[in-house]
Structure 1
């Protein structure tokens, strides 16, 4: 875990490893972390340049919508790990699973996870953003990597 992260914040507790997630869930965590980088940061600019037209920009914007609601109406502040950290934090896992559930059309599970993050009256808006993020990440995951017959841009 990154040393600058406050270890006593329960949302940052490591609950797994990023590499154990599927492409959509890992992409959601990556977008969460990138959204918190400065817009002019090299990592964010590279992602938007390289992945933007394949769904990356739409995914980043949708995750940003979730983050904005969470920031203003969250049950507590969101905690995330550093961009290059291999750990998966509790808040990151909740967001990743919510995006996956929304993509699969499991709105009840997505709503339940959203209510863990934000006030119940804002959960439908969070799930709507999660659906958009999931769809964009699915497009991105299905895009073949240049020079390969099949590939995944998120792994």
Structure 2
């Protein structure tokens, strides 16, 4: 890894190899973080509102800024993988794992709040991915 690359941005996998829920979570994180016009491509309703709450919590109380890859990048960075796994763990009821992952992203006292939001977001995203009939939500 070069000196200019943040560890959180180090590629740890590929979007195509992630389960649909996790790939969609990474895609949504990238859209939310990119620019206001990109946010307009997020699903409307509770999914988008929950993502905004999650990202707001991460920005305000994060241990450090989450590093993201570009929208069109096929790689998944370390921070993105952690975020995606948090969402999937919370949505599937693996709350201890989700709490551990949340504590890596935000202050430990706010980790339970991040897990609760992540569970709601993951379930809403899972429903949206399922109803779209696609591998990921685009």
- Please indicate, yes or no, whether the TM-score normalized by the shorter chain is above 0.5: yes
- The residue aligned with 2:28 is 31
> What is the CA-CA distance between 1:153 and the residue it aligns to?
5.9
- Contact 1:7/1:13 (<8 A) preserved: no
Q: Indicate the SS of the match to 1:36.
A: helix
Q: CA contact under 8 A between 1:31 and 1:59: conserved in structure 2?
A: no
The number of aligned residues is 135
Please list every run of at least 4 consecutive aligned residues from structure 1 whose deviation after the TM superposition is greater than 4 angstroms: none
Aligned 8 A contact 1:102 1:134 in 2 = yes
Note the C-alpha offset of 1:60.
2.9
**Compared CA separation, residues 7 and 87, structure 1 to 2 (3 A):** farther
Whole-angstrom CA distance in 2 between matches of 1:7 and 1:20: 26
Residue by residue, what CA displacement relative to the aligned partner does 1:93-113 show, whole Å, maximum 9, x if unpaired? Answer: 001001000111111000000
Decide which moves more: 61-70 or 121-130: 61-70
Select which of 11, 19, 22 maps to 2:8: 11
Give the root-mean-square deviation of aligned CA atoms: 1.8
Q: Which runs of 5+ in 1 are unaligned?
A: 1-5, 145-150
Partner of 1:130: helix, strand, or coil?
helix
Q: Report what 2:78 is aligned to.
A: 90
Contact 1:79–1:91 (CA under 8 A) maintained in structure 2: yes
Shift of 1:63: 2.3
Max Rg structure: 1
Instruction: Give 1:32-51 correspondences, 5 Å limit.
Output: 32-39=29-36, 41=37, 43-45=38-40, 47-48=41-42, 51=43
CA distance in 2 between counterparts of 1:64 and 1:7 reads 29
Alignment match of 2:68 (pick from 63, 80, 92): 80
Alignment match, 2:55: 67
CA separation in 2, counterparts of 1:60 and 1:21? Answer: 21
1:154 aligns with 2:136: yes
Cα distance in 2 for partners of 1:113, 1:59 equals 20
